[in-house]
Structure 1
Amino acid sequence: MTQEIHPETRLGPVHLTVSALDRLTDFYQQALGLQVHWRSGGRAGLGAGGEDLLVLYEAPGARRAPRTTGLYHFALLLPDRRELARAIVRLAQLKVPQAPTDHLMTETTYLSDPEGNGIELYVDTPEDGWFGQENGRFVARDKDGLLRSGRDPLDLDELFTHLQPGDRFDTPMHPATRVGHIHLHVADIGEAMRFYHGVLGFGVQIEDETMGFVSAGGYHHHIGFNTWLGHGAPPPPPGARGLRHYTVVVPHRDELDRLGAQVRTAGLPVEQRPDGLMVADPSQNRLLLTVQQ
């Protein structure tokens, strides 16, 4: 029986292949307020002043492969509603298309970067309700237990009450921002669940015919996956734009070694790297297992 993954497991940097590094770094600085932490040899690391949140690799001429597995969106978790309000206003002022949404357990806005990589900016709001699974189907309930869609438009009037006089919308992203979760396109929900739950030991939060959510420590989800591009979608060809890999950070070396042993016991390939263990899910979405620094 697979041992549950350590409850302090979290996500780290998301690594993307892009065709125009200057354009993308400009976008992430101007639209989101990320900082360029470093840049070297066609690569750049961006974040909010601490750990990198995003690493971009330039491949001039790279193109996006349609209807393949890979990134649906990566999600940056903001520390509070005030920061989400600032982010939404900033995007609106720059006329960046976005979709503010109320998931009850989270408040969020969705957008895409200029190369089509999906982005979510969100804040956790468990005091407002819950979403999960009841009798094998997705259910959302508000704080009074009433059924809701879980996908309502966000009440921006209420959100903007969290802004304070003098707030600016062109300042860097809050340093407490971190990668909260990632959502992937996969070829098969059952195969993905057997890997993320059955091999790595993430807890199952939601599983239906087209979508799965798994997490460590009972969080609503660290990793989501769906077959909304079609069951059996192929992986993108090497060198395509989009997800290179994402990062799963465990709290200590013993946990990393244990996970590596579980992956090998399952007969799956493991690439030993100086910064951790690179593995791939059945849809060839790659993830780096690494240790908290």
Structure 2
Amino acid sequence: MSGMSTPSTAPSSTPTLPDALRLGAAHLTVTDLDRSVAWYQDVAGLRQHGRDGAVARLGAGGEDVLVLHEQPGARPAGRHAGLFHVALLYPSRLELSRTTRRLAANRLPLTGASDHGVSEALYLRDPDGNGIELYADRPRSAWPAPTEAGQQVGMYTRALDVEDLLRVSDGEDVRRHAAEGLAVGHLHLHVGRVPQAVAFYRDLVGFAEVTTYPGASFLSAGGYHHHLAVNVWAGEGVGPAPADAVGLREWSAVLPDDAAVGAVRARLEAAGVAVADEGAAGVVLRDPWDIALRLVTAR
């Protein structure tokens, strides 16, 4: 599938992704690999899992969370589709508190700090301007009830009580590394049109739409508050990201078995969307703005 093409047909009934879906590593383009690796260590507490030339794999000791690709001279992101932010999910409020303390110790500025009811979140930009969210979920039993018809989750945006968050780790020394269990929790993307994005990610890929904000839609599997958000805040009708810009190269979703991956592939191909089969590396599909999503099987 190329550029801004639209799927030719949609399935007669809305498909559903497995509840067990989780997100895998996100790949980002950066201009200076050494600088970016150091930043992600100081900010998110990531470790370098491995490095091969211009590519570094980062995580918290388990699976890779981010894969950074160095592209010297890449231009800053502009008004186009692509990454709004990649959100790193900490396994507990304590871990997010420790991260907040690490940010303060390193004097790293935030671009925002929000209480979303379902989660508490900190927002930053990496040295190349890539949007990063660091967050921890509240227990599902504490999530706000939906407030509008059609909502499945009652998310909101309020100021985060940072002082209360810091109290969770009172008396601790600053920790350089995050604990294992850190994962990509969700991706938030700029797109050209929200209805077109929902038609692709809900009606073909199989995410459920759980709530909407002005100019944005939030989608997930298994009743999560969102694995994916799409918005037009970069401008209605924006086109694909230039190949020579920093930003998102691909994101990934991990499905429980080959049959689940095959079901998504079959829906896309039936709708005229090209899918690249890369064997053990999964299948890669591209949305109407050429944003790549890799589907892999849990191993």
Question: Taking structure 2 as the reference length, what is the TM-score of the superposition?
Answer: 0.90
CA distance in structure 1 between the partners assigned to 2:262 and 2:151 by the alignment: 35
Residue 131 of structure 1: how far off its partner (Å): 6.6
Structure 1 residue aligned with 2:3: none
CA distance in structure 1 between the partners assigned to 2:296 and 2:228 by the alignment: 16
Q: What is the 5 A alignment of 1:243-258?
A: 243-258=248-263
Residue 265 of structure 1: how far off its partner (Å): 0.7
Structure 2 residue aligned with 1:213: 218
Structure 1 residue aligned with 2:71: 59
If asked which structure has higher relative contact order (CA below 8 Å, sep 6+), I would say 2
Q: What is the 5 A alignment of 1:18-37?
A: 18-37=30-49
CA distance in structure 2 between the partners assigned to 1:238 and 1:133 by the alignment: 41
1:42 aligns with 2:66: no
Query: Relative to 1, partners in 2 of residues 1:20 and 1:41: Cα closer, same or farther, differing over 3 Å?
Result: same
Query: Relative to 1, partners in 2 of residues 1:85 and 1:291: Cα closer, same or farther, differing over 3 Å?
Result: same
Two-structure CA RMSD over aligned residues (Å) = 1.8
1:134 aligns with 2:140: no
Q: Secondary structure at the match of 1:134?
A: coil
| Higher mean displacement: 122-131 or 100-109 | 122-131
Structure 1 residue aligned with 2:100: 88
- Do the aligned residues in 1 keep the contact of 2:55 with 2:67 (CA within 8 Å)? yes
Q: Secondary structure at the match of 1:130?
A: coil
- Do the aligned residues in 1 keep the contact of 2:42 with 2:176 (CA within 8 Å)? no
Residue 164 of structure 1: how far off its partner (Å): 5.0
Give the partner amino acid of 1:292: A
CA distance in structure 1 between the partners assigned to 2:66 and 2:145 by the alignment: 28
Q: What is the 5 A alignment of 1:49-128?
A: 49-98=61-110, 99-125=112-138, 126-128=140-142
CA distance in structure 2 between the partners assigned to 1:39 and 1:2 by the alignment: 41
CA distance in structure 2 between the partners assigned to 1:135 and 1:129 by the alignment: 17
- Do the aligned residues in 1 keep the contact of 2:102 with 2:176 (CA within 8 Å)? no
1:113-168 residue CA offsets vs partner (Å, 9 max, x unmatched): 11011111111114544275614689957xxxxxxxx2222112322232153x23
Give the partner amino acid of 1:114: P
Structure 2 residue aligned with 1:155: 161
Residue 238 of structure 1: how far off its partner (Å): 1.4
Whose strand proportion is higher, 1 or 2?
A: 1
Give the partner amino acid of 1:286: A
CA distance in structure 2 between the partners assigned to 1:209 and 1:160 by the alignment: 31
Task: Choose the corresponding residue for 2:236, options 231, 235, 258.
Answer: 231
Query: In the comparison of the two structures, how many residue pairs are matched?
Result: 284
Q: Secondary structure at the match of 1:26?
A: helix
Query: Relative to 1, partners in 2 of residues 1:41 and 1:5: Cα closer, same or farther, differing over 3 Å?
Result: same
Residue 17 of structure 1: how far off its partner (Å): 1.1
Give the partner amino acid of 1:63: R
1:74-123 residue CA offsets vs partner (Å, 9 max, x unmatched): 11111111111111111122111112211111011111111011111111
Q: Secondary structure at the match of 2:75?
A: coil
CA distance in structure 2 between the partners assigned to 1:209 and 1:102 by the alignment: 18
Structure 2 regions of 5+ residues with no counterpart? 1-12
1:4-26 residue CA offsets vs partner (Å, 9 max, x unmatched): 11111111000011111111011
Percent identity between the two aligned chains: 40
- Do the aligned residues in 2 keep the contact of 1:187 with 1:230 (CA within 8 Å)? yes
Structure 1 regions of 5+ residues with no counterpart? 142-149
Query: Relative to 1, partners in 2 of residues 1:64 and 1:12: Cα closer, same or farther, differing over 3 Å?
Result: same
Query: Relative to 1, partners in 2 of residues 1:52 and 1:261: Cα closer, same or farther, differing over 3 Å?
Result: same
Give the partner amino acid of 1:81: R
